[in-house]
Amino acid sequence: MADKEEILQKLLKPVGIEKKAGYNNSSVFGGFDNYILQWLDRLAELSSDERVLELIADLKELFSDYSRVQIKQRQKKLAAGQELFNSLSNLIQEETVEEDSMQRLPPIWQKSIRYVKGVGKKRAEKLARLEIDTLRDMLFYIPRDYRDWSKNLPIRELSPDSEVTATGQVVDSTELRPRKGLTITKVIISDNTGRLAGVWFNQSYIKQKFKPGMAVSFSGEVKQEYGELQITHPHYEIMDSDKELDPGKILPVYSTTQGLSQNLLRKIVSRILKEHLDRFPESLSPGIKDKYDLLDVKEALYKIHFPDQIREVKEARQRLAFGELFILQLGILLKKTDLLTEEEGLVHTGSDELITNFLSDLPFELTSAQRRVWAEIKDNLESSIVMNRLVQGDVGSGKTVVATLALLKAVSSGYQGAMMAPTEILAEQHYLSLKESLEEYGLQIGLLVGSLKKSERKEVIAGIESGEVDIVIGTHALLQEEVSFAKLGLVITDEQHRFGVRQRAILKEKGENPDVLVMTATPIPRTLALTLYGDLDLSVIDELPPGRKPVITEWRREKDFDKIFDFIRQEVKSGRQAYIVCPLVEESEELDVRSAENMAEKLDEDIFPEFKIGLLHGQLKTDEKEAVMEGFRSQQIDILVSTTVIEVGVDVANATLMVILDAQRFGLAQLHQLRGRVGRSEYQSYCILVADPGTETGRERMKIMTQSTDGFVIAEEDLQLRGPGEFFGTRQHGLPDLEVADLLRDSRLVELARKEARKVVDSDPKLQQEEHQLLADLLQAKFGDGFELIDVS
Candidates 189-197, 388-396, 615-623, 627-635: pick the segment binding ligand ADP (CB under 6 A): 388-396
Of ligand ADP, Mg ion, none, which one does residue 107 interact with (CB within 5 to 8 Å by kind)? none
DSSP classification of residue 149: G
Minimum separation from the CB atom of position 494 to ligand ADP (A): 7
Minimum separation from the CB atom of position 518 to ligand ADP (A): 13
> Measured from the CB atom, is 461 or 473 closer to Mg ion?
473
Please report the sign of the dihedral spanned by the C-alpha atoms of residue 110, residue 114, residue 118, residue 123: positive
Integer Cα distance of 486 and 468 in angstroms: 9
- Asked if 364 touches ligand ADP (CB under 6 A), the answer is yes
DSSP classification of residue 554: E
Integer Cα distance of 359 and 401 in angstroms: 9
Integer Cα distance of 576 and 424 in angstroms: 25
Of Mg ion, ligand ADP, none, which one does residue 31 interact with (CB within 5 to 8 Å by kind)? none
- Near ligand ADP by CB under 6 A: residue from 77, 136, 336, 399: 399
Minimum separation from the CB atom of position 221 to Mg ion (A): 55
DSSP string for 384-449: SSPPEEEEEE-TTS-HHHHHHHHHHHHHHTT-EEEEE-SSHHHHHHHHHHHHHHHGGGT--EEEE-
Cα–Cα distances in angstroms (integers) from residue 308 to residues 248, 275, 319, 584, in the given order: 10, 20, 17, 52
- Near ligand ADP by CB under 6 A: residue from 25, 112, 230, 397: 397
- Asked if 350 touches Mg ion (CB under 5 A), the answer is no
- Asked if 498 touches ligand ADP (CB under 6 A), the answer is no
Integer Cα distance of 655 and 676 in angstroms: 11
Of ligand ADP, Mg ion, none, which one does residue 631 interact with (CB within 5 to 8 Å by kind)? none
542 to 581: interface string for ligand ADP, x by CB under 6 A: ---x------------------------------------
**Residues linked to residue 518 through DSSP beta bridges, in sequence order:** 390, 493
> Measured from the CB atom, is 105 or 366 closer to ligand ADP?
366
> Measured from the CB atom, is 474 or 649 closer to ligand ADP?
649
- Asked if 201 touches ligand ADP (CB under 6 A), the answer is no
**Residues linked to residue 493 through DSSP beta bridges, in sequence order:** 420, 518
- Asked if 367 touches ligand ADP (CB under 6 A), the answer is yes
Q: Is 415 exposed, middle or buried (0-12, 13-18, 19+ CB in 10 A)?
A: buried
Candidates 33-41, 374-382, 394-402, 659-667: pick the segment binding ligand ADP (CB under 6 A): 394-402
> Measured from the CB atom, is 94 or 365 closer to ligand ADP?
365
> Measured from the CB atom, is 401 or 761 closer to Mg ion?
401
Look at residue 98 and give its three-state secondary structure.
Answer: helix
DSSP string for 651-709: --TTEEEEEETTGGGS-HHHHHHHHTTS--SSS--EEEEE----SHHHHHHHHHHHH--
DSSP classification of residue 218: E
- Near ligand ADP by CB under 6 A: residue from 168, 252, 331, 398: 398
Of ligand ADP, Mg ion, none, which one does residue 364 interact with (CB within 5 to 8 Å by kind)? ligand ADP
Look at residue 130 and give its three-state secondary structure.
Answer: coil
Of Mg ion, ligand ADP, none, which one does residue 693 interact with (CB within 5 to 8 Å by kind)? none
Integer Cα distance of 299 and 294 in angstroms: 10
- Asked if 582 touches ligand ADP (CB under 6 A), the answer is no
Look at residue 133 and give its three-state secondary structure.
Answer: coil
Of Mg ion, ligand ADP, none, which one does residue 367 interact with (CB within 5 to 8 Å by kind)? ligand ADP
235, amino acid identity: H
Binding to Mg ion (CB under 5 A) within 649-708 occurs at 649
> Measured from the CB atom, is 436 or 558 closer to Mg ion?
436
Look at residue 198 and give its three-state secondary structure.
Answer: strand
The crossing angle, in degrees rounded to 10, of helices 262-276 and 297-305 is 160
Minimum separation from the CB atom of position 520 to ligand ADP (A): 10
Candidates 140-148, 314-322, 364-372, 466-474: pick the segment binding ligand ADP (CB under 6 A): 364-372
Candidates 152-160, 413-421, 647-655, 711-719: pick the segment binding ligand ADP (CB under 6 A): 647-655
Binding to ligand ADP (CB under 6 A) within 506-535 occurs at 521
- Near ligand ADP by CB under 6 A: residue from 393, 463, 523, 534: 393
Integer Cα distance of 632 and 638 in angstroms: 7
Give the pairing of strands 215-225 and 162-179: antiparallel
Integer Cα distance of 300 and 740 in angstroms: 12
> Measured from the CB atom, is 381 or 652 closer to ligand ADP?
652
- Near ligand ADP by CB under 6 A: residue from 53, 130, 253, 366: 366
623 to 652: interface string for Mg ion, x by CB under 5 A: --------------------------x---
Contacts of 42 (CB under 8 A, 6+ apart): 2, 7
Cα pseudo-dihedral 426, 432, 437, 438, rounded to 10: 100
Minimum separation from the CB atom of position 763 to ligand ADP (A): 40
- Asked if 395 touches ligand ADP (CB under 6 A), the answer is yes
Of Mg ion, ligand ADP, none, which one does residue 366 interact with (CB within 5 to 8 Å by kind)? ligand ADP
Of Mg ion, ligand ADP, none, which one does residue 680 interact with (CB within 5 to 8 Å by kind)? ligand ADP
- Asked if 614 touches Mg ion (CB under 5 A), the answer is no
The residue count for binding Mg ion (CB under 5 A) is: 1
**Residues linked to residue 737 through DSSP beta bridges, in sequence order:** none
Contacts of 78 (CB under 8 A, 6+ apart): 15, 18, 19, 23
The residue count for binding ligand ADP (CB under 6 A) is: 20
Integer Cα distance of 754 and 768 in angstroms: 20
- Asked if 396 touches ligand ADP (CB under 6 A), the answer is yes
Candidates 180-188, 360-368, 468-476, 604-612: pick the segment binding ligand ADP (CB under 6 A): 360-368
776, amino acid identity: A
| Binding region for Mg ion (CB under 5 A) | 649
| Binding region for ligand ADP (CB under 6 A) | 364-367, 370, 393, 395-401, 521, 545, 649, 651, 653, 676, 680
